Amino acid sequence: MSRKIIHCDCDCFYAAVEMRDNPALVGLPVAVGGRAETRGVIATCNYEARAFGVHSAMSTMRALKLCPQLILLPPDFERYRAASRHILDIYRDYTPLVEPLSLDEAYLDVSGVERCKGSATLMAQEIRARIHDEVGITASAGIAPNKFIAKVASDWNKPNGQFVVRPQDVDAFVAALPVKKLFGVGKVTAAKLSRLGVETCADLRSWRLVDLSREFGSFGAALYRLCRGIDERPVRSDRIRKSLSVETTYVTDLPDLAACRGALPALIDEFFRRFDRARELRPVHKAVVKIKFADFSQTTVECVSAAPDAGIWTALLDEGYVRRSLPVRLLGVGVRFAETGLEQRGMEQIALFGDDGSS
């Protein structure tokens, strides 16, 4: 039986909560993020700000150059989490199979749900109306037979809209998609595909599996399936955390390895505070250090360790630093958890990451 999957995504979530709580902001360019002088980045912005070219993950300094009148607000995660909890409660009124992706985004499997006469389209409309009436913000939705297509469809009629891809329409819908819409196809992979003459999923379908595997390694199999609209991943209400980390972007670059070592204890203390709160039951498998240098190049170093400590993270820092030996703008420490057999089979089923590491 074909699944009925809804992907719900709130529109400019953080900014929407801010405008809900301060109606004077409505109609003005608003962004939530860090200050320019602390090398902050934009977490999200409303559509008025997007009209100036501002977008999430952009540096705040760049955003203010594009839109000098931008109203920049610091994040208030307590309010965002409260709104998120209310939204998740609404989702769970319809199905227990809810897989949150972030505070404002989730998959819902409503296969076999009798509400709204079993219509996923009507359920999505009702859910969006309830989010508007009960939470005071808008959401968009995609409805499709699988997670990949539902996520693409939720972006089709943003903001405050929805789009349905029926099972009989999947083939034509996916064939027309640009390959950059596929999971794992970031700038590097998209550029490589373009050089190979591949711009759409229809173009990609002319490639044999063996040829895609030769060009893209293990990710070739995922490309082969996704360009045909094949995604068998179930909606998992018990989504598994694969890693835990903390990182800091410094106002002033750390000039050398000694300064990086000096900054490490504070990061490690913060990591263990988060680790204690997470109450993760699976064993730790690896220790990880992330370094972003002043030229924005980045490296990650890891090693197998069941119980990382300051000595292990320091050794990883030393190993990573010598790869560039430049001043450092960001440091992070963390762990990767051991995978169960079930997780490993899931990863074999579909690869979500391309050869450029994008998602």
- In this prediction, residue 239 carries a pLDDT of 64
Q: What is the CATH number of domain 5-11+78-166?
A: 3.30.70.270
**Residues marked as binding?**
9, 104
Backbone angles phi, psi at 153, to 5 degrees: -65, -30
Read off the pLDDT of each residue in 188-196 and give the average, rounded to a whole number.
93
Residue 80: count other Cβ atoms within 10 Å of its Cβ: 20
**Residues marked as binding for Mg(2+)?**
9, 104
Tokens of 266: 């504070």
Q: Per residue in 127-145, pLDDT tens?
A: 999 999 999 999 999 999 9
Find all residues with CB under 8 Å of 311, minimum gap 6, and list them.
none
> Cβ(137)–Cβ(17) under 8 Å?
yes
- The CATH class of the 243-338 domain is alpha beta
Could you give the strand order of the β-sheet that contains 105-109, starting from the edge strand earlier in sequence?
Answer: 98-102, 105-109, 5-10, 139-144, 162-164
| Burial status of residue 202 (CB atoms within 10 A of its CB: 0-12, 13-18, 19 or more) | middle
- In this prediction, residue 89 carries a pLDDT of 94
Give catalytic status of residue 105 as yes or no.
yes
Query: Which fold, 171-235?
Result: DNA polymerase; domain 1 (1.10.150)
- The CATH class of the 14-76 domain is alpha beta
Q: Where are the alpha helices (DSSP H) in 279-340?
A: 310-321
Q: 209-216 vs 219-226: helix axis angle to the nearest 10?
A: 140
Q: Per residue in 80-124, pLDDT tens?
A: 999 999 999 999 999 999 999 989 899 999 999 999 999 999 999
| pLDDT at position 146 over 90 | yes
Catalytic residue among 18, 99, 105, 302: 105
User: Which is more confident, 357 or 262?
Assistant: 262
- In this prediction, residue 237 carries a pLDDT of 85
- In this prediction, residue 37 carries a pLDDT of 85
> Cβ(225)–Cβ(233) under 8 Å?
no
Read off the pLDDT of each residue in 318-344 and give the average, rounded to a whole number.
85
Spans of all domains in the chain: 5-11+78-166, 14-76, 171-235, 243-338
Read off the pLDDT of each residue in 174-201 and give the average, rounded to a whole number.
93
Pick from 343, 301, 342: nearest CA to 318: 301
> Cβ(290)–Cβ(336) under 8 Å?
no
